[in-house]
Structure 1
Amino acid sequence: MSGLRVDLRVPVGRPLPELAEFAARAEAAGLDGIGVPDHHHTGRDAYLVLAAMASRTERLSLFPATSNVVTRHPLVSAALANSLDELAPGRAMLTVAPGFLSVEKAGEPQARRARLREIVLALRGLLGEGHASLDGHELELFHRPATGSRVVVLASGPKLLELAGEVADGVMMLVGLDPAGVEAARKHVRIGAERAGRDPAELEEILIVPFGLGDTATVRAWPRGWFRPGQPWLRYPSASNLTWLRYAGIDVPDGPPEELSDDLTDRILDAYGLFGTPEQCADRLLRAHEELGTTRVFLFPAHSWDTTYELPRAEVDAFGSTIGPALRAAGLSTAGA
């Protein structure tokens, strides 16, 4: 049976030394990787955070989650990824997307898909062969790692999934855990790959899995709540989330989210991610592996705008005490492999 790698989102809400210590705690709990939001407005640079984490860990995969392609030139992003690879050989990865909070805070629009395509190809060229062409300029990267760093696209909508299949080394998909929804998303990745003459099987797939601990009332509050004023939690980071729920046979009605019925809310939670007690989350993750055959997930702790930078201490504790042991008992944990 194939293993299951489990990574975790860790925000930049605390000083760098504390974040580095937290990474060590996550590694000791048995997690396989950490993704750090690349949010410039926090005053803490994601790549410096990752560098500090590299100094305190030995096996964790480390990556930004996610860098946008607007506020950094691809040569700069490639140099940062390359530097991280030198600090944590074989453990670094670059993930990119059109941009959300960082570009919003910088007063810039999100990158268009055509621009994202150009930059992903440039990044792969720089981190692979060491050279690329962009906007009529020839770019070159010295001292690149021998094996090259992977460039992964974060995607939730059909068009971005196809773009990832066409140009990236892998895709991080926010599409829920329902088999029908995940298969529909995978089809879009295959469409993009085949359009470019690529083998879809060569792309790494990482499922982004919302993760909320708590009793029934606590977890039901997430679909019924708001990420921030004007943006329901279920539509964060975009309304594409609802696309995959519809494949699961779940239509989220228009109107105030707090009016969702108990039954519909419970169906949403089951199709969308891991919610409930640590034991319930472990069972749901095991079922997802069995139903989907997924080999890597990125746990995305449930949060609102007000709590987005809180460290996921309870989530790490739950993984160490309950979820990780459940994976080991099933022969799925890759920790330390």
Structure 2
Amino acid sequence: MTGLQVDIRVPVGRPLPELAEFATEVEAAGLDGIGVPDHHHTGRDAYLVLAAMAQRTERLSLYPATSNVVTRHPLVSAALTNSLDELAPGRAMITVAPGFLSVEKAGEPKARRARLGEVVLALRGLLGEGAATFDGHDLELFHRPESGSRVVVLASGPKLLELAGEVADGVMMLVGLDPRSVEAARRHVRIGAERAGRDPSSIEEILIVPFGLGDADTVRAWPRGWFRPGQPWLRYPSASNLTWLKEAGIEVPDGPPEDLDDELADRICTAYGLFGTAEQCADRLIRAHDELGMSRVFLFPAHTWATTYDLPRAEVDAFGRTIAPALRAAGLSIHRP
């Protein structure tokens, strides 16, 4: 039985010293990594947050989750990642996507897939060999670590999954936990890798796992709710979520999400992520590991626009008290308590 690395989203909702202190609590709870949203409009820079966390922790993987490729030039992003790797050797990576909130707040359109691919290749060159060509210019990056930092694409739709297979070192996938959904997503990654003449097994896979604690009525409110006006929670960050639910045999009807009945809401929660009591979430995570053979997950605490910058204190506490001990008992923890 293989180990399971479990990371968690920590937003930039508090001052940097408090975020760095919270990282020590995340590490003490037995989690393995932190991904910080790269949201410029908060007035707090994700890479400075990660640097502060690096100074206070010893083993956590640290990375932006996720940086866009519109508001930062790839040379700038590579230098930031390289600097983080100097503070936390072997613990840093960069994850990128076309953009969502930061791009929206900057008044810019999301990057096209082709542009994302160009940036990923430039980042891999800079963080690997120290050189890349981008927009006709030769770029160099000095003082890089010998091992280099990985470049991971966050993807939820089939075409982005294929792009990740073509150009990235890894892929973060928001596709649920149903074996049918995950296999369909993996197939798209393989298509992209094979199209580029790459070995699909060389591409690291990280499953993004929505995580909602509570009793049945509380967790059913998530698929029935709204992320923000005009955007149902099930369509955040994109409507691709419905594609993977359909692969799991779940058709989400048109109409207000609050009309979903109890049975359908329960099926969605089971297929989509970890929902329920801490004990139920631990059991679901272990079952998903056994069914999918996954080695790394990124816990994505359920939230709305109103709560998007709240620290996941309840989730970290539940992990430390209940989920981590269950993983250890199942032989899945990758480190000693």
TM-score range, shorter chain: over 0.9
TM-score, normalized by length of structure 1?
A: 0.99
Aligned to 1:313: 313
Q: Partners in 2 of 1:7 and 1:275 — Cα distance?
A: 17
Say if 1:336 and 1:169 are closer, same or farther in 2 by CA, change over 3 A.
farther
| Structure 2 unaligned blocks of 5 or more | none
Tell me the residue number matched to 1:328: 328
Aligned equivalent of 2:47: 47
How do residues 185-224 of structure 1 correspond to structure 2 at under 5 angstroms?
Answer: 185-224=185-224
Q: How far did 1:327 drift?
A: 0.3
Q: 1:72 to 1:336 in 2, by over 3 A?
A: farther
- How many residues end up aligned between the 2 structures? 337
SS in 2 for 1:34: strand
Quote the Cα distance in structure 2 between the aligned partners of 1:201 and 1:89. 25
Partner of 2:160: 160
1:211 and 1:300 in contact (8 A); partners too: yes
Q: What's the offset of the Cα at 1:335?
A: 2.9
CA contact (8 A) 1:29 1:316 kept: yes
Normalising by the residue count of structure 2, what TM-score does the alignment of the two structures yield?
Answer: 0.99
Question: Equivalent residue for 1:120?
Answer: 120
The CA distance in 2 between the partners of 1:16 and 1:325, in whole Å, is: 30
Separation (CA, whole Å) in 2 of partners of 1:162 and 1:213:
32
Q: Deviations over 1:183-205 (max 9, x none)?
A: 00000000000000000001100
Amino acid at match of 2:281: C
Q: Secondary structure at the match of 1:139?
A: strand
In the alignment, the residues of structure 2 paired with residue 335 and residue 36 of structure 1 have an alpha-carbon distance, to the nearest angstrom, of: 22
Aligned to 1:263: 263
Give, in angstroms, the shift of residue 44 of structure 1: 0.2
Deviations 1:162-219 (A, max 9, x none): 0000000000000000000000000000000000000000110000000000111110
Q: What is the identity, as a one-letter code, of the residue corresponding to 2:239?
A: A
In the TM superposition, 1:1-337 aligns within 5 A as 1-335=1-335
- The letter for the 1-side match of 2:113 is R
How far, CA to CA, are the matches of 1:64 and 1:335 in structure 2? 23
Q: What is the CA-CA distance between 1:133 and the residue it aligns to?
A: 0.3
1:121–1:168 contact (8 Å) kept in structure 2: yes
Would the aligned equivalents of 1:59 and 1:336 in 2 still touch at CA under 8 Å?
A: no
Instruction: Tell me the SS of whatever aligns to 2:332.
Output: coil
CA contact (8 A) 1:31 1:335 kept: no
SS class of match (1:297): strand
Deviation at residue 78 of structure 1 after TM alignment: 0.0
Per-residue deviation at 1:260?
A: 0.2
Aligned-pair identity (%): 85
SS in 2 for 1:186: helix
1:336 CA displacement: 5.1
Amino acid of the structure 1 residue aligned with 2:15: P
SS in 2 for 1:151: strand
SS in 2 for 1:241: helix
Corresponding letter in the other structure for 1:6: V
Structure 1: segments with no counterpart, 5+ residues: none
The residue identity in structure 1 corresponding to 2:52 is A
CA distance in 2, matches of 1:161, 1:205: 11
**Is the CA contact (8 Å cut-off) linking 1:248 and 1:271 kept in structure 2?**
yes
SS at match of 1:14: coil
Alpha-carbon distance in structure 2 between the residues aligned to 1:113 and 1:81: 22
RMSD of the TM alignment (CA)? 0.7
Aligned-partner Cα distance in 2 for 1:110–1:243? 21
1:230-267 deviation per Cα after TM superposition (whole angstroms, max 9, x unaligned)? 00000000000000000000000010000001000000
**Rounded Cα–Cα distance in structure 1 between residues aligned with 2:231 and 2:253:** 15
Whole-angstrom distance in 1 between the partners of 2:233 and 2:110: 20
Give structure 1 regions of 4+ aligned residues with deviation exceeding 4 angstroms.
Answer: none
Residue 59 of structure 1: SS of its match in structure 2? Answer: coil
